[in-house]
Structure 1
């Protein structure tokens, strides 16, 4: 039986930057990779964040629940803190 999944060590980010604990500020979230080929759960998480298409960006209030969503799709988004 042929193998249907081959793991490629060079695919994806080698290391993602750590996010500090949730604060009271805002976060700028930009989708940098497409959701095509990923699970329905990841696509739904991106939609819940307000990211409807590739290269879309939103500003969200920082919270623990937002951090949990970002953790699920951290390889598809770029997160930066907003200076107020």
Structure 2
């Protein structure tokens, strides 16, 4: 639990309002157990409008990554993910 857990809970609720499966995936921790930034990885395909909502709420795109996915050892394709971060404190 972080000292600013209320801020984190509010952001998680916001993410759930956009997509019920989205949750904060990473935390940047400062002194005294305070989360100073949060991050999420979002599949790009089909989520352009949702990513725009995150940007309007102060989230910033940082980078994209391509991940291969395999089922039973067969290459089935790639998924592109967008990393977004939000600073809670400056």
Shorter-chain TM-score range: 0.3 to 0.5
Q: Return the structure number with greater strand share.
A: 2
User: Higher relative contact order by CA 8 Å / sep ≥ 6: 1 or 2?
Assistant: 1
Report the TM-score, using the length of structure 1 for normalisation: 0.33
Q: Return the structure number with greater helix share.
A: 2
Report the TM-score, using the length of structure 2 for normalisation: 0.31
